[in-house]
Amino acid sequence: MGSLSGTSSSLAAAFDADSERFQPLNADDVRSYLHKAVDFIYDYYKSVESVPVLPSVEPGYLARQLKSAPPNAAAPFDVAMHELREAVVPGTTHWASPNFFAFFPATNSAAAIAGELVASAMNTVGFTWQANPAAAELEALALDWLAQLLLLPDSFMNRPCSAVVAGRGAGTRGGGVILGTTSEAMLVTLVAARDAALRRSGSDGVAGITRLTVYAADQTHSTFFKACRLAGFDPANVRSIPTGADTDYALDPARLLEAMRRDAGAGLVPTYVCVTVGTTSSNAVDPVGAAADAAAEFGAWVHVDAAYAGSACICPEFRHHLDGVERVDSLSLSPHKWLLTCLDCTCLWVRDTRRLTDSLETRPEYLRNHATESGAVTDLKDMQVGVGRRFRGLKLWMVMRTYGAAKLRQHIRSDVAIAKVFEESVRADHRFEVVVPRNFALVCFRIRPSATASMTEEDAEVANRELMERLNKSGRAFLANTVIGGKFVLRFAVGSTLQEERHVRNAWDLIKMTTTEIINGEVD
């Protein structure tokens, strides 16, 4: 017994000594490391405009520059910062660059970065209200604030607007949750719609899932079709409704209704309709109200994916794109795309939170608590796929509290105005065409086949591919492409947070010069 006691004492002494040597949250280290990280961030934003948007590295480059085996010994923090600057940054595609035009932007702001920093430092895991009451309630407040800016009906609020004004805090069945991505929003609503449809059709368990059908326009983001597979829908029952130039590539509600009636007539169960406000390829806007009317005939769930363009609807001049939203079941948008809130932050609102929790709720004994059992709160773990969750609401609240609605609207309107400048420049040059009408801050354009007397449609595609390749290789601009109506088209997305009109004009000058070189047959 004495030997065991001696061993325990030795182990305790060694543990105490080791604890003194390793204190990963030493307050002085936290301050020192963060000061150095903040200096790095400051330098990054000051210099990002001058570095190539796309890195000139080959796959596997990083493993050749950094050690292949994990370090055993500790190293000064400065070593990691040096390797960050010398190895990681040179291989980074700079989404923060004002010369980034390829995809919908990943916007950011000082307030969002500060909110993310504080949330990371607190490192709370708010799966239940009890696990972090402030996180749960601040998320609800931020979602309600944004819902009010979007003029969403009271049915989507965690509490009615009237109750907020009166200070009563009365609850409703509606509410929201902040998820990571649009994909998650689609998945959880698909699962809720699936289960509701199975119950409605009297299916025993999931036996009737092969009869369930879902619908979206062919311009809907590919993540929707992935989410359908994850939710267990038969790929043969996922309807992709064709679009065309006659609707500017938006969903045709007549075709949607026809497809749903055809399926119902065949004994299938129309279950879910995904409506997009701002498609990825062309920023097409599906008619929300008309789609909801079609779905209502069958009791199908209607989800609005407004990931990018939904943010613009805080401006009165764009709000009409959400007309009819009071008749849908759910709506999601991503402030990390266009509302100055860094990744990841996707807001999902539902008219009836119980339809989500019925499918996603978990009630293990170790998470039971008085607040949950009382029914006074909705635990956010029951509105998402996983259980653990970050304090995402803090940065969204920080952004809205710091900048206010007026500044956020100014930010949106500035991007749209700059996109109009680019669109007008394209239309003024006879060698180019705007392929679809501009919506919001995306311009889809291409070198037209009639740019030269001898250019065919095939030649135009080759020329546009080469134009994009040369632009991206230059490091002075980064564009992406899509295919609209069978045509290879360049996407020019305005909205990187550091972007100004001069960056767009410089990009246009580069586009014109490069196009002249291509048409004249000059070798790159």
Query: Which residues are the active-site residues?
Result: 366
Distance CA 138, CA 140 (A): 5
CA atoms within 13 A on the CB side of 480: 14
Q: CA-CA distance, 93 to 79, in Å (whole number)?
A: 23
Q: How far is CA 101 from CA 87, 93, 94, 487, 498, in A?
A: 25, 12, 11, 20, 12
Helices H / strands E in the chain, number of each: 17, 11
- Our measurement of the distance from residue 339's CA atom to the centroid of its chain's CA atoms, rounded to an integer in Å, reads 11
Strand order in the sheet with 442-447: 432-434, 442-447, 487-493, 480-484
Establish how many alpha carbons lie within 13 A of residue 432's alpha carbon, considering only the half-sphere containing its beta carbon.
25
Tokens found for residue 278: 């701002």
- The whole-angstrom separation of Cα 446 and Cα 439 is 16
Residue with the two structure tokens 């939710």: 231
Q: What share of the chain is helix, strand, coil (3-state, %, to 5)?
A: 50, 10, 35
Q: Which of 199, 193, 198 is nearest to 210 (CA)?
A: 198
Are 286 and 305 in contact by the 8 Å Cβ rule? The answer is no
Alpha-carbon span 188 to 390, nearest angstrom: 18
Distance, CA of 427 to CA of 152 (rounded, Å) = 36
- Say if residues 162 and 250 touch (Cβ distance below 8 Å): no
Q: How far apart are CA 366 and CA 185, in angstroms?
A: 27
Neighbour tally for 281: CB within 10 Å:
19
Look-up of token digits 């699936």:
194
Strand blocks (E) in 334-473: 346-350, 432-434, 442-447
User: Is the backbone peptide bond immediately before 344 cis, with ω within 30 degrees of 0?
Assistant: yes
Residue 323 CB partners (closer than 8 Å, separation 6+): 288, 289
Of 197, 224, 192, the closest CA to residue 209 belongs to: 197
The strand ranges marked E within 173-325 are: 175-179, 212-217, 238-241, 269-276, 301-305
Residue type, 288: V
Amino acid identity of residue 359, one-letter, is: S
- Please, what is the Cα angle at 388 between 336 and 358, to 5 degrees? 95
